């Protein structure tokens, strides 16, 4: 990584976000992880969740969720509770705290099996 890009990681005016629980910044048109300075695009599937540290399942689900019955898509939010969502098979979806509540119920159901 060049020195200019390295210095940009500490620039407070750079665009910031989170990707699967990891802080990222937009540097010279490329999103990079703040901790490793690696580009996100080729690496995001190779990193565990930055919040719970669990790897994705072999099906690509969040490690803390696994496969949920009756769910088309879901995201735990990776530490950003407002980013959590559950999309059911009929297309209906819930987000944020409501999604967290439903995810907790669905995980309890898995544990009872």
pTM over the 0.75 mark: no
Q: Tell me which residue of 104, 108, 84 sits closest to 94, measured CA to CA.
A: 84
Q: What is the pLDDT along the chain (113 residues), one digit of tens a residue?
A: 555 555 555 566 689 999 989 999 999 999 999 999 999 998 888 899 888 899 988 888 888 898 898 999 999 999 999 999 999 999 999 999 999 999 999 988 776 66
How many CB atoms are located within 10 Å of the residue 26 CB? 14
């Amino acid at each position: 990584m060049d020195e200019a890009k390295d210095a940009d990681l500490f620039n407070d005016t750079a665009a910031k976000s989170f990707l699967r629980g990891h802080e990222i910044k937009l540097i010279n048109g490329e999103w990079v992880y703040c901790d490793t300075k690696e580009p996100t695009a080729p690496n995001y599937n190779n990193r565990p969740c930055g919040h719970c540290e669990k790897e994705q399942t072999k099906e690509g689900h969040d490690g803390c969720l696994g496969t949920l019955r009756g769910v088309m898509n879901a995201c735990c939010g990776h530490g950003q509770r407002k980013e959590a969502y559950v999309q059911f098979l009929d297309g209906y979806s819930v987000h944020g705290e409501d999604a967290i509540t439903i995810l907790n119920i669905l995980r309890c159901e898995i544990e009872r099996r």
